[in-house]
Structure 1
């Protein structure tokens, strides 16, 4: 029961905080999230590329 009360409390505080953001803050948050997503995609593709190059060098 205590865990559900904590979850409800945290959820309510998150909703209250999000409702109080201005449009500029929403845009800044969106830009931050896009930046994080871009970093993750670039890291993933670089990881895959490195793995392919290592596999190719082992075959030679």
Structure 2
């Protein structure tokens, strides 16, 4: 699905995925990064519909 230009312009842009993930790690909600097809940089989103999420790490040693 193509990102709407109005959405792209409202969101913070990150030059790298690592920079976006650093900010996402400080958030209170689960966020993931994605490369925008409009600006070519990375944005954050909380949407997960249709996306595979990594399984949580096994807490047992």
Q: If the TM-score is normalised by the length of the shorter chain, which range does it land in?
A: under 0.3
TM-score (ref. length: structure 2): 0.25
Work out which of the two has the higher radius of gyration on C-alpha atoms and give 1 or 2: 1
TM-score (ref. length: structure 1): 0.25
Q: Which has the higher helix share?
A: 1
